[in-house]
Amino acid sequence: MVTTEAFDPHPDRTRWLRRSAAAAVATAVLGVTGTGLAVAVLAARQPDNSGGTQATTGTDDGTSSSSGPSDSGSSSSDNGSSDSGSGGLGSAQQDSPTQGGSHGS
């Protein structure tokens, strides 16, 4: 009769080690898969808005420090055009009457 008992004096410990290793591998696989899915979902939901300041990805689950607040928290800020050059500004014609003013106050 062939047996392995002679070669494995601690069968219980070996079984435990094997099960622990299998559990560790499964946990790692699930973790990597979950992280990948989360990143994919966030990437898909994140709008490509290069004009505003970047929002943090932290969750607002309580009293939080104000560092890095989301620019999109206000519905009115920076949601117009996103160009950063002089796209909205130009030279005025000599005979054009002014329609508005930006005066220091």
Partner 1 sequence: MTASRSWKAWSCTVRLTVDDPAVLSAACGALKALMDRVDKAASRFRPDSELSAINARAGSMVPVSRLLVDLVDVSLVAASMSGGAVDPTVGGAVVAAGYDDDIEAVRRRLPQATGSSGPVPGWEQVQLNRRLALIGIPKGTTLDLGATAKAWTADRAALVLSKRHGCAVLVEIGGDLRAAGTPAEPWVIEVAEREGDPGVAVTLAHGGLTTSTRTARRWSTPGGFAHHVIDPRTGRPADGPWRTASVWAPSAVRANTFSTALVATGDTALGRLTLAGHPARLVDEDGEVIELAGWPAASRAA
Task: Kindly list the residues in this chain that would bind partner 1 in the complex (CB under 8 A).
Answer: 51, 53, 60-71, 73-94, 96-105
Whose Cβ is closer to partner 1: residue 4's or residue 93's?
A: 93
Closest Cα to residue 92, out of 81, 79, 102? 102
Angle at 91 (CA atoms; ends 88, 92), nearest 5 degrees: 110
- Nearer to partner 1 by C-beta: 57 or 96? 96
Least Å from the CB of residue 47 to partner 1: 15
Looking at beta carbons only, is 3 or 67 nearer to partner 1?
67
First to last CA, the chain: 100
Residue 72 contacts residue 52 (beta carbons within 8 Å): yes
Q: Which is nearer to partner 1, 4 or 67 (CB)?
A: 67
User: Measured from the CB of residue 70, what is the shortest distance to partner 1 in angstroms?
Assistant: 7
Shortest reach from residue 45's CB to partner 1, in Å = 18
- Give the up-direction half-sphere exposure of residue 24: CA atoms within 13 A in the CB hemisphere: 6
